[in-house]
Amino acid sequence: MSNPSLRVLLFRHHAGDPLSSIISAITRGGYVHAAFLIGGLTIIEAYYPTVRQRELQPEELVGVDVFSVDGLTLEQEAAIVAYAQAAVKAHERYSIPDLFRLLAPVRAVLGDGDDSPGFKTPTFCSEFVVRSLRDAVGIFVQNAPAVEVDPVRLGWSVRLLKDAPLVAPVKEAA
């Protein structure tokens, strides 16, 4: 029996992301982005303007921490990946207002975010990871609504176990 290969990635910097410095200022922590690693260097992430699937580039691997989900089964992994890929197909929108709701004074003005399941609700990066785990297979990584879990707090989860860092594939000589 093989082990699940799904991983949660937490980025200490996210090259080319104009929101990274804002996220760092809001959270005052070390992580500015979260995504799923679904195989090889393929990730699914909530990134403005919608949830997307793409390949990580070798230069992006520095500053990315890799976590497995404790107790994840192959069946759960398949359900999470299917859920995340469905979000890509549904063009689930990225939510800048939810990002700012992490600040209590802003939340007092905007109100609480929508934490209901499904793709009708815009999302930000760590919220997408938390909701995908919760809605696809019932794994709760934090005792808080998904809309209140920033990348730093996601890293505090006892359900996430730190793994070896990502390594760029070696290119074969021509």
Q: Which of 31-40, 43-52, 141-150, 159-168 has the lowest mean pLDDT?
A: 141-150
Cβ atoms of 3 and 12 within 8 Å: the answer is no
Give the residue among 81, 56, 108, 104 at the shortest CA–CA distance from 5.
81
pLDDT in the model for residue 146: 80
**CATH code for the part of the protein at 7-162:** 3.90.1720.10
pLDDT in the model for residue 1: 43
Question: pTM of this prediction?
Answer: 0.86
